[in-house]
Amino acid sequence: MNSPQPPTPPPLRTPPPPPGAPGPSPLANAWEAEMMEKAKRDPGAVLESLPARVAAIKQALEPVVVGQHETIDAILFALLSRGHCLLVGVPGLGKTLLVNALGRVLGLPFSRIQFTPDLMPSDITGTEILEEDVTTGHRKFVFVPGPVFTNILLADEINRTPPKTQAALLEAMQEKVVTIAGKRYKLKEPFIVLATQNPIEQEGTYPLPEAQLDRFLFELPLTYPSLEEELKIVSQHQFHPTDQLPDVLTQGEILACREAVAQVPAAPNVIDYAVRLVRATRPEAPDAPDYVKRWLKWGASPRASQNLILAGKARAACLGRFNVSREDVAALAPLVLRHRLIRNFQADADGKSTYDIIGQLLDGVKA
């Protein structure tokens, strides 16, 4: 007896442009396809120019964004490795300004969603409305895209909305598609979610579930600026508008760089180091260190191992290298693992932070 076949997923659709907005240019699409094909044929040429492009991006951001160099680097690594970032920091550190300026310099559309307790999933993904043709009287449902149909999405204070609305981002972040009324709509490429979270104020918040936390490539802690940086911020006599920032890259060039980064090789010993590092975080593993069994409730999933290598490729390429090293994996481990390790009460009692545990892992797992 034949087993039942799983249902065939609905075909992917391209969402219509907003009213009054121009549709996609066939010439632009052809040029982007040519850039992608060039990156596949000769990734070395694209990779050789990547460090200079990254330096140009940072230089263009300097008049607007003071400091935050490590955060900018990490966001660029995530963009080139098809990942997303969770920015954790108190209000007033320039998170929205950074994302807006970065989108302008990269030549990518930018959308911002302020997450509130009454936000609905359709406010993120879009919805279908009933539209009537005034000439024929014929009515039909028309899909109106939500703010998720962009390239850079700032999910501001993502933990202030209920889990039902938070879950609306899960499919978009992992599969780059959105399902509305049984129809699947493809998101624009590249697509990156930059979510923010206030680590201090917890009243009226909804902690992110582990499934959604695991969708983020990095958790980036934003700290207060240094004395020199804060003096520079305050002493600026005029506000530099982001719409005057130059376009350093185009959408097609970003896609080409991303395609080239994906072809950066990782040696078997580097992959072995990344896998052993992640496996050491799982307290139920027989060979887990004693301090992991003592302080951790849950460890990282295989997605963390994948992300260490993918992000390592982006870091190596941005630094002008053509292969992933174990130093790349070790440097990115705190950003990749921080939000994936769930501490227990014993860790709190012993005063051990997630960073302390990751530091011991990096010291204990030999490269």
- Report domain extents, the chain: 35-117+149-261, 264-367
* Cα radius of gyration (the chain): 22
pLDDT for residue 237: 55
pLDDT at 207: 84
Which pLDDT score, from 0 to 100, does residue 12 have?
Answer: 62
Q: What amino acid is encoded at 236 in this protein? A: Q
| Highest mean pLDDT out of 49-63, 210-224, 299-313 | 299-313
Q: Does the pLDDT value for residue 85 go beyond 50?
A: yes
| pLDDT at residue 241, as a whole number | 65
CATH number of 264-367: 1.10.8.80
Q: Confidence band (pLDDT; 50, 70, 90) for 22?
A: very low
The two structure tokens encoding residue 298: 């849950």
Backbone angles phi, psi at 335, to 5 degrees: -75, -35
198 pLDDT more than 60: yes
* Dist CA 200 CA 163 (whole Å): 20
Q: Are 264 and 316 in contact (CB under 8 A)?
A: yes
Residue 54 confidence (pLDDT): 92
Please give the structure tokens belonging to residue 14.
């391209």
**Banded model confidence at residue 246, pLDDT cuts 50, 70, 90:** confident
User: Could you count the other beta carbons within 10 Å of the beta carbon of residue 61?
Assistant: 21
Predicted TM-score (pTM) of this structure: 0.85
pLDDT of residue 36: 57
Find out whether the peptide bond into 15 is cis, omega within 30 degrees of 0: no
At 74 the pLDDT is 95
Sign of CA dihedral 33, 37, 40, 43: negative
Distance CA 343, CA 292 (A): 9
Mean pLDDT, range 86-95, rounded to an integer: 85
Predicted local distance difference test score (pLDDT) of residue 202: 67
Give yes or no for residue 39 having a pLDDT over 70: no
Give the right CATH number for 35-117+149-261 from 3.40.50.300, 3.20.20.100, 3.40.228.10, 3.40.190.10: 3.40.50.300
| High-pLDDT (> 90) share of the chain, % | 44
